Amino acid sequence: MEGYGLLIGVLSPLMGIGGGQLSNLLMTFYGHPIHQSVATSSGLGVLISIPGAIRYIYMGWPEAMEFPDVAVHQPPLALGFVSCIGLVLVAPLSL
């Protein structure tokens, strides 16, 4: 199964899709009910997005310090490259 995870992790970004599509297909192929495979990929999507958001926050701070002109053009209440206003508006709608 680790080989499948590695394969999905390599192919998904190359195709520009999330890993949920491929992992749903794989779990259904191995006999898991579709409800279980969709729930598993949804749960993993949350676990993947949280470190990604933290990384965007972390990577945006040095850029703001190095280029103060760019920091002026950031939206209000932004943490690094993450807009907190966008987070508050989009997160409930995505649930």
Query: Cα 95 from chain centroid?
Result: 14
- The Cα-based distances of 17 to 3, 13, 47, 49, 83 in angstroms read 19, 6, 16, 14, 23
Q: What is the pLDDT of residue 33?
A: 93
DSSP 8-state code for residue 33: -
Q: Which residue has the higher pLDDT, 8 or 71?
A: 8
Residue 7: per-residue pLDDT: 85
Record the pTM. Answer: 0.61
Cα within 13 Å of Cα(15), Cβ side: 12
Report the pLDDT averaged over residues 83-92.
Answer: 89
